[in-house]
Structure 1
Amino acid sequence: EPLHPGAQPTLLDTDGHRITALLTNSPRWHGPFLDARHRARGRCENRIKTLKNTGLGKLPFFDFAANQAWANIAALAFNLVSWLQLAALPHGHRAKAWDIKRWRYRLFATAGKIITRARRNQLLLPESAPEKDLLKLLLENTARLKQVLPPAPG
């Protein structure tokens, strides 16, 4: 197949083409179908890796109920970060491709201070915060989504 735009050629690529081989014992052999199935499996494995990095890699307690609560909180954190990437970031933003570790070290570790002035909460961030603009963008977009979405029943 021809190299995709921006792909780096390797030593084995010849004349701008990449040679790929697929060995399978699948009874249904159709190249594009098998390629799509393989890519879906890769996305699934990335989600599993992200869940492990969120907290499911090690269960810290001896008690089953405590580990169950830990797993629920880890799944909730994973869902919240996925939701932020899908709904609160504009299309093509660089943070959409970040894994959970980068979110944790670049964004969630940013120190800030919440103050109340004139009955309104404000978040103060230091000028030297590396992802200050991204945090402001996320807060603005989640506030905008809150206004657009219908209120929860009950």
Structure 2
Amino acid sequence: MGRPEEATQRRPRCSLPARHPDRHPTRTVTPRRPTADVRHERLAPHHHHLRPPRRQPLEIDRLQREHAHVEENIKRLKTTGLDRFPFPDTARNKVWTSMVGWAHTLCRWFQLDLLAGTEFEHAHPKKLRRCLFNTPAILRVRNRQTWTLWPKQWPWNPHLRNAGRRLRTMNPPAPLQI
């Protein structure tokens, strides 16, 4: 086999015609490349913080699910109006952006708190507009009380009634003391 120290080292793989006189004349020796971690360590040993950490499969799955929630929120924001800037100047577009963010936050609160357990809990804004926010209703005020009269044949009437009940049972905010 040759020298004993050569037997312990990895032998390079061979391909194509050789150019070395001591090797077989029909083969070329191509050295194997080290793995990415070894190559990175050799090139930049002091940049160990730049290497991605090794993660367990459950942690990778958790991080991907969190990222999916972020992408879902971006999709909702774009359908709410963040995909366009309607004004020619930057100042009014900044106000537009903040108002779209407030509207998105309010809709998500409405969905997650008042519509929990219904088909609208994770619905997109277009479905909320079509089914709930465009509901015809009558506001009637009697004896200092405001009543909302929903149409009886409306298919999403039970969801709206339950959301109203949940809203009434929430703790009212304390008035500001100035």
Alignment of 1:123-138 (within 5 A): 123-138=148-163
TM normalised by structure 2 equals: 0.64
Corresponding residue for 1:17?
none
> What is the rounded CA distance, in whole Å, between the counterparts of 1:82 and 1:114 in structure 2?
24
Aligned to 2:107: 81
Determine the structure 2 residue equivalent to 1:42: 68
Tell me the residue number matched to 2:168. Answer: 143
Q: Does residue 98 in structure 1 map to residue 123 in structure 2?
A: yes
Counterparts of 1:8-27 in structure 2 under 5 Å?
26-27=52-53
Q: CA RMSD in A?
A: 1.9
Structure 1 or 2, whichever has the larger Rg, is 2
Deviation readout 1:54-97 (Å, 9 max, x if unpaired): 1111121112222222212211111112112222234x332212
TM-score, normalising length from structure 1? 0.72
Pairing 1:119–2:144 present? yes
Distance 1:51 1:30 in 2: 32
Long gaps (5+) in structure 2? 1-50
Secondary structure of the corresponding residue to residue 129 of structure 1: coil
Counterpart among 30, 34, 42 of residue 56 in structure 2: 30
Letter in 1 for 2:112: L
Q: Distance in 1 between matches of 2:146 and 2:172?
A: 21
Per-residue Cα deviation, 1:103-146 (whole angstroms, up to 9, x for no partner): 1111111121212122211112222322122111111211111x
Q: Which runs of 5+ in 1 are unaligned?
A: 1-24
What percentage of aligned pairs have identical amino acids? 29
